[in-house]
Chain A
Amino acid sequence: MELQAVLMAAGGGSRMMDLTYNTPKPLLPVGNRPLIWYPLNLLERVGFEEVIVITTKEVQKALSTDLRLKTDVKMKLDVVCIQEETDMGTADALRHIQQKIKTDILVVSCDLITDVALHEVVDLFRAHNATLSMLMSKVHEFTETVPGQKGKKKGGEQRDFVGVDVTGKRLLFMANEADLEEGLVLRKSIMRKHPRMLIKTGLLDAHLYCLKRSVVDFLVHNKSVTSIRGELVPYLVRKQFSKSLNSPNATEDSEKNQKQQDAHNNLELLSTGKDEPLLQLARERSCWNDHRGDMSEAYHGGKLRCYVHIMEEGMCYRVNTLAAYIEANRVAPKLFDDPSIHPTAVVTERSLVGSDSIIGPYCQILEKTSIKRSNVGTSTTIKEKVKIINSIIMNGVTIEEGCNIQGSVICNNAVIGRGADIKYCLVGSGQRVEPEAERTNEVIVGSDQLMEI
């Protein structure tokens, strides 16, 4: 077998707590499908037959009961549950399932919605015998107004600095703005080997990684690495250019350094143990080089290689903030062509449902209602004379007559009283908005949520 897929669905959605305090992030509805459906569909489309899903108990239950997930997903899901409280990082999770991993792995995050041609990423991994191959895409500016956003959008997340070589495929440098206090430091060894480097900042990391099996074994030996994106990837990128252990480092002799060197040693050994003599011979005899201008052989003789595929066009979203969630809801229905109005929904003739809205199953939409550019979830009841524009209504919501909802997100099982006027708000799960209320740009959540810090 060539690759095993691992889907990380245990994350908490810490950047959109208003949405996720009641519903786990993988089950948030996007375009009337749970968020976890999108990466599963991506994997299924390219031909995976089995996926290891690392998630919490709640999501596991939903995976076996949710109709959409059960019927649409034909792959075999091997669900591994971890406790929510343990706060496991992604690398910790990989260490947890180390027994199940027998080949190279493809790690996908549950909040990725993309239509990338996955073979581009995997081809880099295969052709160059790379240790890491990842996917990045150009950041899309979010244009929709985000409910509950007070004031102008601040700088937002911190930028990633990504350095690639001339071809745009080899990953030379990766650092987050948070880690660069004094400034961007480039090692001379990188510059000597790759004199031309392009540094890009407007890239979004899709959290899709192809990793060699030896990396998992390395993680087992190094328990200090907790997160793939935060620690493992920058480490691997750095280690491409570090000196091999043949040159002893006499200055630092502390225990810690020794352990680090051992760790590095492990990685090198594990990844090169399999280099057969025939493969070596083939590479020697081949008249190909990945760079020119210096005297070194292909890949500068380095055994560790990291590659990145940067998507120029196409859809790639990571739903980890509220703005991304709204944007994804706008765009995701285009990924599949379901009928915009589910056949089981009851829509009366006098109501107006725009063509870019989608109505989920078992909905009830009564007369004189107009729905434009919105997503309405499962089993929602919308009474008469309601105007919904540019909003996201999740499952089980009841909206009484005469409401006016604009640019808002209404979460599961909320109730909007009659005649309410809601603009750019976020109504949390199970909340009630009293009739004749007028809310603009607010986040309406329960008091128990306010207690959590």
Chain B
Amino acid sequence: MADSDGRQIDSINHAADGDGKGHGIVRAKTEGKELTKEEKQRLRKEKKQHKKNKKDDKVPTEKEKEKEKPSVQAPSKPVTQSPTHKAAAPVPVSASASESLAAAEKPVKTKAELRAERRARQDSERTSKQGKKEGGQQSTTSKPKASPSELQPVVKRLPEHVQVDDPAALKKLAKKLERQQKSGQGCGLNITGVKVPLRSDYGYKVSLFSHLHQYSRKNPPTQQISIPATVIHPSVVRLGLQYSQGIIAGSNARSVALLHAFKQVIQDYSTPPNEELSRDLVNKLSPYISFLSQCRPLSASMGNAIKYIKKEISNIPSQCKEEEAKGKLQECIDSYVNEKIILASEAISKYAIEKISNGDVILVYGCSSLVNHILCDAFEKQRKFRVIVVDSRPRLEGREALRRLVKKGIRCTYVLISALSYILPEVSKVFLGAHALLANGYVMSRVGTSQIALVAKAYNVPVLVCCETYKFCERVQTDSFVSNELDDPDDLIVTRNGKTHLENWQTVKSLGLLNLVYDVTPPDFVDLVITDLGMIPCTSVPVVLRVKNVDQ
């Protein structure tokens, strides 16, 4: 008796030290058939608690179970007269240790045997479902990280009345940012707890756009970062600052600058011991991306670039040495920029020049680097045309486009967008740049573009959109409200003749300043999209996306 007890205790200890996932409970169940009702209830409660505190309170609950063992064994001692060689009930989850244990304590009664089996099976299913649920939770928290092109910072399926600067929602966002860093660190094994500073919203938001963030340029995201930026790589901090101050603006420029910063991050990266570069580097990049999206919401082109980099990093074979891997990644980034941006713009300008004939009057809006490139190329190839640059407040980017074209020698006219309908009868073609092309054929571009396309359609002027394929994104949007970007409302304040009328706009309760950045143009207004794959109609965008996915 004492021997079997000793053996039981040994095997109990062995099983407890092993993967104590649900084995202790299984054992308790198989032992406790003769237990009183109260003890059974107690066991059930402890099981629930054990499952809840599985990771943290492993030791105390085990201690509890240890304490349980002696009390459990006492009533079952008279029952377990059976020899140890009795065949154990087929418990699917148990390891060999608990199997032998169950075998050691197998009662003679068959009905109880069956009940035990049933209970054990239920337990095992419950624990496996629990494990799956936890794994699922991990994947949902990492999903928002995986789709950075989403402009919505708030958790999905939020009730409509919740505003983005609701304190509860802000707390959730802050926690989500923290969780992103933690869960992204590989099963919570090494929680670096990278704290990305949370930028607070500024000013009254127009109710239609209250689900978007509105930041002020006077509160930079670097306020809460330590000055020698250690947590976030210095080049990423610099990039974030340049984004938030508008020094790097424009979809192409932002992507290129992002890739440049990532090159420097990869350069300074060193794999920590016991980690793989392919997994750890991706985790390192997540807080940087969160920081950048706090500075300014990511653009579709940036999102695609990030996806590409992450894919390249995860595809690095594990036996690759660190220096080699880093060199390969740098090359990948360089080739991406070369192919998707530089060569693409060459290809686009080659296609576009066929559409520019002598004597054309071309209308452009704002400052699109691609359209400027096309026009400069066409001018070099001795095409005779003149350009009308349309501009709009508050960014007044058209001035920069005007400067570049005039510096080249092109004859330009400059108007504000309010004069559009007056100038359109002179125009023969409209060239527009795009921030992104959505999967349903809508063109997302600077606010005002849809107006230009609309009026041009009314005047029967062809509208050509120039866009590289890396800006194509899988999002679908039919209006400009659901996902947009709100810029600093103080940009709308202007001082004329020494008077600043909107200086105290915050004190007027019924006044809201709205500074939208993007809008979407329906495909009916766009006649042609010129991409590096050729000239396609607007509705062929999903085809291109499909082909791209197949390629990758």
- Say yes or no: A122 contacts B401, CB within 8 Å: no
User: Can you name the residue of chain B whose Cβ is closest to the Cβ of A117?
Assistant: B223
- Say yes or no: A286 contacts B228, CB within 8 Å: no
Interface 1/0s, chain A 435-450, versus B by CB < 8 A?
Answer: 0000000000000000
Task: Report 25 cross-chain contacts, Cβ distance below 8 Å, ordered by A residue.
Answer: A2-B228, A4-B228, A47-B225, A47-B228, A48-B227, A119-B223, A119-B225, A126-B234, A128-B247, A279-B257, A282-B257, A283-B253, A284-B253, A285-B250, A285-B253, A286-B247, A286-B249, A286-B253, A286-B257, A287-B250, A287-B366, A287-B397, A288-B249, A295-B403, A295-B407
Q: Kindly identify, within residues 258 to 276 of chain B, every residue whose CB is under 8 Å from any CB belonging to chain A.
A: 259-260, 263
- Say yes or no: A287 contacts B401, CB within 8 Å: yes
Interface residue A127 (Cβ < 8 Å from any Cβ of B): yes
**Alpha-carbon separation in the docked complex, A126 to B254 (Å):** 17
- Say yes or no: B249 contacts A2, CB within 8 Å: no
User: Can you name the residue of chain A whose Cβ is closest to the Cβ of B227?
Assistant: A46
Interface residue B400 (Cβ < 8 Å from any Cβ of A): yes
* Interface stretch (choices B238-246, B282-290, B477-485): B238-246
**Alpha-carbon separation in the docked complex, A49 to B231 (Å):** 13
Q: Which residues of A contact B257 (CB under 8 A)?
A: 278-279, 282, 286
- Say yes or no: B229 contacts A278, CB within 8 Å: no
Interface 1/0s, chain B 197-238, versus A by CB < 8 A?
Answer: 000000000000000000000001011011111100010011
- Say yes or no: A282 contacts B399, CB within 8 Å: no
Q: Which residues of B contact A119 (CB under 8 A)?
A: 220, 222-223, 225, 227
Q: Is the interface of B mostly helix, strand, loop or mixed?
A: helix
Q: Kindly identify, within residues 21 to 35 of chain B, every residue whose CB is under 8 Å from any CB belonging to chain A.
A: none
- Say yes or no: B226 contacts A47, CB within 8 Å: yes
Listed in ascending order, the chain B residues whose CB lies under 8 Å from chain A are 220, 222-223, 225-230, 234, 237-238, 241-242, 245-250, 252-254, 256-257, 259-260, 263, 334, 337, 341-342, 366-367, 369, 397, 399-401, 403, 406-407
Interface residue A3 (Cβ < 8 Å from any Cβ of B): yes
**Alpha-carbon separation in the docked complex, A276 to B227 (Å):** 24
Q: Which residues of A contact B367 (CB under 8 A)?
A: 287
Interface residue A261 (Cβ < 8 Å from any Cβ of B): no
- Say yes or no: A126 contacts B241, CB within 8 Å: yes
Interface 1/0s, chain A 90-129, versus B by CB < 8 A?
Answer: 0000000000000000100000000001110011001111
Q: Which of these, A1, A117, A289, contacts B230 with CB under 8 Å?
A: A1
Q: Which residues of B contact A283 (CB under 8 A)?
A: 248, 253
- Say yes or no: A127 contacts B245, CB within 8 Å: yes
Q: Which of these, A127, A276, A286, contacts B241 with CB under 8 Å?
A: A127
Listed in ascending order, the chain A residues whose CB lies under 8 Å from chain B are 1-5, 46-49, 106, 117-119, 122-123, 126-129, 276, 278-279, 281-289, 292, 295
Q: Which of these, B227, B249, B256, contacts A281 with CB under 8 Å?
A: B256
Q: Which residues of A contact B256 (CB under 8 A)?
A: 278, 281-282, 285
Q: Which residues of B contact A4 (CB under 8 A)?
A: 228
Q: Which residues of B contact A129 (CB under 8 A)?
A: 238
User: Can you name the residue of chain B whose Cβ is closest to the Cβ of A121?
Assistant: B227
**Alpha-carbon separation in the docked complex, A49 to B226 (Å):** 10
- Say yes or no: A281 contacts B337, CB within 8 Å: yes
List the 10 closest pairs (A to B, CB-CB), nearest first: A47-B226, A287-B367, A286-B253, A2-B234, A278-B260, A285-B253, A282-B257, A285-B369, A282-B256, A46-B227
**Alpha-carbon separation in the docked complex, A288 to B253 (Å):** 10
Q: Which of these, B223, B241, B247, B337, contacts A278 with CB under 8 Å?
A: B337
Identify 16 new A-B residue pairs, CB closer than 8 A, beyond the known A1-B234, A47-B228, A286-B249. Answer: A1-B228, A47-B230, A48-B226, A49-B228, A119-B225, A123-B220, A123-B241, A126-B222, A126-B237, A283-B253, A286-B250, A286-B369, A288-B246, A289-B399, A289-B403, A295-B406
**Alpha-carbon separation in the docked complex, A123 to B366 (Å):** 28
Most buried by B among A49, A278, A292, A295: A278
- Say yes or no: A292 contacts B228, CB within 8 Å: no
Q: Which residues of B contact A278 (CB under 8 A)?
A: 256-257, 259-260, 263, 334, 337
Q: Which residues of B contact A292 (CB under 8 A)?
A: 399, 403
Q: Which residues of A contact B253 (CB under 8 A)?
A: 282-287
Contact status of A282 and B260, CB under 8 A, knowing A3-B228, A287-B401? yes
**Alpha-carbon separation in the docked complex, A127 to B241 (Å):** 6
Most buried by A among B256, B341, B367, B400: B256
**Alpha-carbon separation in the docked complex, A169 to B369 (Å):** 28
- Say yes or no: A2 contacts B229, CB within 8 Å: yes
CB distance from B356 to the nearest CB of A (A): 21
User: Can you name the residue of chain B whose Cβ is closest to the Cβ of A210?
Assistant: B227
- Say yes or no: A285 contacts B228, CB within 8 Å: no
CB distance from A54 to the nearest CB of B (A): 18
Q: Which residues of A contact B406 (CB under 8 A)?
A: 295
- Say yes or no: B237 contacts A2, CB within 8 Å: yes
- Say yes or no: A46 contacts B260, CB within 8 Å: no
**Alpha-carbon separation in the docked complex, A295 to B412 (Å):** 14
User: Can you name the residue of chain A whose Cβ is closest to the Cβ of B446?
Assistant: A287
Q: Which residues of B contact A122 (CB under 8 A)?
A: 222, 227
Contact status of A282 and B407, CB under 8 A, knowing A2-B237, A3-B228, A119-B220? no
Q: Which residues of B contact A2 (CB under 8 A)?
A: 227-230, 234, 237
User: Can you name the residue of chain A whose Cβ is closest to the Cβ of B397?
Assistant: A287
Q: Which residues of B contact A48 (CB under 8 A)?
A: 226-228
Q: Which of these, B222, B248, B249, B260, contacts A123 with CB under 8 Å?
A: B222
**Alpha-carbon separation in the docked complex, A151 to B226 (Å):** 48
CB distance from B242 to the nearest CB of A (A): 5
- Say yes or no: A3 contacts B227, CB within 8 Å: yes
Q: Which residues of B contact A276 (CB under 8 A)?
A: 260, 263
Q: Which residues of A contact B248 (CB under 8 A)?
A: 282-283, 286, 288
**Alpha-carbon separation in the docked complex, A118 to B220 (Å):** 12
**Alpha-carbon separation in the docked complex, A122 to B226 (Å):** 11
- Say yes or no: A127 contacts B242, CB within 8 Å: yes
Q: Which residues of B contact A123 (CB under 8 A)?
A: 220, 222, 241
Q: Which residues of A contact B369 (CB under 8 A)?
A: 284-287
User: Can you name the residue of chain B whose Cβ is closest to the Cβ of A279?
Assistant: B260
**Alpha-carbon separation in the docked complex, A281 to B248 (Å):** 11
Q: Which residues of A contact B245 (CB under 8 A)?
A: 127
- Say yes or no: B403 contacts A287, CB within 8 Å: no
Q: Which residues of A contact B220 (CB under 8 A)?
A: 119, 123
**Alpha-carbon separation in the docked complex, A276 to B246 (Å):** 20
Q: Which residues of A contact B230 (CB under 8 A)?
A: 1-2, 47, 49
CB distance from A57 to the nearest CB of B (A): 28
User: Can you name the residue of chain B whose Cβ is closest to the Cβ of A119?
Assistant: B222
Q: Which residues of A contact B259 (CB under 8 A)?
A: 278
User: Can you name the residue of chain B whose Cβ is closest to the Cβ of A122?
Assistant: B227
Q: Which of these, B227, B229, B241, B400, contacts A288 with CB under 8 Å?
A: B400
User: Can you name the residue of chain B whose Cβ is closest to the Cβ of A278?
Assistant: B260
**Alpha-carbon separation in the docked complex, A279 to B220 (Å):** 22
User: Can you name the residue of chain A whose Cβ is closest to the Cβ of B407?
Assistant: A295
Q: Which residues of B contact A279 (CB under 8 A)?
A: 257, 260
- Say yes or no: A287 contacts B241, CB within 8 Å: no
User: Can you name the residue of chain B whose Cβ is closest to the Cβ of A125?
Assistant: B238
**Alpha-carbon separation in the docked complex, A282 to B222 (Å):** 22
**Alpha-carbon separation in the docked complex, A281 to B247 (Å):** 14
**Alpha-carbon separation in the docked complex, A3 to B230 (Å):** 10
**Alpha-carbon separation in the docked complex, A308 to B43 (Å):** 70
**Alpha-carbon separation in the docked complex, A288 to B341 (Å):** 19
- Say yes or no: A287 contacts B260, CB within 8 Å: no
Contact status of A287 and B222, CB under 8 A, knowing A1-B230, A127-B238, A295-B403? no
Q: Which residues of A contact B407 (CB under 8 A)?
A: 295
- Say yes or no: B226 contacts A287, CB within 8 Å: no
**Alpha-carbon separation in the docked complex, A282 to B406 (Å):** 21
**Alpha-carbon separation in the docked complex, A268 to B45 (Å):** 74
CB distance from A390 to the nearest CB of B (A): 37
Q: Which residues of A contact B237 (CB under 8 A)?
A: 2, 126
CB distance from A170 to the nearest CB of B (A): 13
**Alpha-carbon separation in the docked complex, A129 to B257 (Å):** 13
CB distance from A53 to the nearest CB of B (A): 16
- Say yes or no: B400 contacts A287, CB within 8 Å: yes
User: Can you name the residue of chain B whose Cβ is closest to the Cβ of A106?
Assistant: B227
CB distance from B412 to the nearest CB of A (A): 13
